[in-house]
Amino acid sequence: MAKAFGRRPDAPAVPFIVWLLAVTSLVAWRQGVIYEGGADPVVVAKALIQCVALLIAAVMLVRTPIRQPLGGRTLGLLLFIVTVSVVGAYAQGNTVASVVLAVRILLLTATVVMVLRACPPKVVLKTLLAAMAVVGAVSAVTGMGEMLSGGRLGGGIPPLTPNDIALLCGLPALGILHEAVHGRSGVRLLAVSAGLAGLVLATGSRTAIFALAAAIVMVLLHMRRPPVQVAAAVLVAVPVIFAVAAYTTTLSNILNRADSASLVTLNSRTISWEAVLAIPFDTLQRWLGAGLSVKQIAVVGQYWDKQVFDSSWISTLAQAGVVGLVLLAVWTARTVWDSLRTPRLGRFTNAALLFILIRSVTENGLVDASVDFVVFFTLSVLLERASTSPGPFPAAAYGPSGSAAKAPSERVPAG
């Protein structure tokens, strides 16, 4: 640990621990529970883990001799959205729970910023994806029982939903594939990527499966001279995928799974969306929202009283109003633009953002204490810096070596 802190600022062990603790504190430890204020053993335990991650990140930053430069646009947009949501919560009498969640997001943001300042970009991304894969794979393996009995793959320890597992396994699978197509990973890691993608398929999460497929195509489109093992894997995968789709019921089971009539499908999601969109424009709630703790809304004409939003965009509209939604749209558009105009880094970030943004339509998390937020914020900050750097930052930081040592102009001495 001391060696990683002091003599090797780019050592992956410490940032991996930070990410592992952060991801563990962010994923659900129990299902069907929406935070509405107060404290219980689970809330306290998750808060303590997040604080430990923040402390380790702070020590790592203090002991790192080379600081990575970062921009301020992404952080500024996030602070504006959170501030708007807090003001809206105060106006709606929903202050305490929303302020707690706002503080948690800010502490999480501080942790991410410290890691980004202390570590080279490639180390940041690799360790983050590795931590996600560990948590997702452990949850999936310990939750195989339900899938073997004919259900979707859900989590055991921790008890994640299929959609959560799809996120935690999907992005690492994409990251390994990206490394493979550019000749930076071997057959074993390629097999790990295939295994993680298989876990995503087993979840039956339709949006995530579609998003991962589109992201994989995006990664392959950036491929120029594929390594032999990648070309062989593609040649084997194409007929296998065709056979599975044409001669088995896998595809039809995913599209028409047994829980299609449940409250988590697109049809029921649109009920809450319509309720949020129906908030009058002449109310303060429409423009500033009602706070970050608002995760569901009352519905009428159904046999249930409340419906969760299940969309990052609808959630933002409900939590931070039209003002917050516009800010998020600007943030997203600028991040995508930065990715498109940063070709070397964009080979991965284009696909990763495609995966995240497709999921954001039917999943919460872009502005929340969640893994989605951590990934989106991290990519946004890295892209902001890479796209505005006048020097060799993108090539040096994200090249095959993954070291920032080739860019002396980007070195910022500690203190």
Listing DSSP states for 240-307 in one string gives HHHHHHHHSSHHHHHHT-TTTTSTTSHHHHHHHHHHHHTS-TTSHHHHH-S-TT--EEE-SSSSSSEE
Asked whether residue 411 is domain-assigned, the answer is: no
In-domain check, residue 396: no
Question: Which residue segment(s) compose the domain that 114 sits in?
Answer: 2-388
Distance CA 318, CA 273 (A): 9
Q: Is residue 398 part of a domain?
A: no
Q: Which amino acid is at 27?
A: V
Residues with Cβ < 8 Å from 198, sequence gap 6 or more? none
175 exposure class (CB count in 10 Å sphere: 0-12, 13-18, 19+): buried
**How many other CB atoms are found less than 10 A from the CB of residue 301?**
5
Residue-level pLDDT at 380 = 97
- What is the chain's pLDDT, residue by residue, as a tens digit (415 residues)? 544 444 454 478 999 999 999 999 999 998 877 777 778 899 999 999 999 999 999 999 999 988 999 989 999 999 999 999 999 999 999 899 999 999 999 999 999 999 999 999 999 999 999 999 999 999 999 999 877 777 788 899 999 999 999 999 999 999 999 998 887 777 788 889 989 999 999 998 889 999 999 999 999 888 777 666 666 666 666 666 556 555 555 556 565 655 444 444 556 678 888 889 999 999 999 999 999 999 888 776 666 677 888 899 999 999 999 999 999 999 999 999 999 998 888 889 999 999 999 999 999 999 999 999 999 999 999 999 887 664 444 333 333 333 333 333 333 333 3
In a domain, 415, yes or no: no
- Cα(324)–Cα(315) distance, integer angstroms: 10
Residue type, position 40, single letter:
D
The predicted pLDDT at position 314 comes to 95
CA 295/CA 309 separation, integer angstroms: 6
Measure the CA–CA gap between 60 and 386, rounded to whole angstroms.
23
The runs of H, that is alpha helices, within 341-370 are 343-362
Q: What is the pLDDT of residue 309?
A: 86
Distance CA 106, CA 123 (A): 23
In a domain, 413, yes or no: no
| Residue 206, Cβ density class (10 Å: 0-12 exposed, 13-18 middle, ≥19 buried) | middle
The answer for residues whose C-beta is within 8 angstroms of residue 298's C-beta and 6 or more apart is: 275, 305, 306
Return the DSSP state at 92. Answer: T
Give the whole-angstrom CA distance, residue 348 versus residue 355.
11
Of 280, 355, 277, 271, the C-alpha closest to 310 is 271
Q: What is the pLDDT of residue 31?
A: 82
Q: Give the count of domains, the chain.
A: 1
Residue with tokens 């948690």: 104
Q: Sort 357 into a burial class: Cβ within 10 Å, 0-12 / 13-18 / 19+.
A: middle
Domain assignment present for 414: no
Entry pTM = 0.87
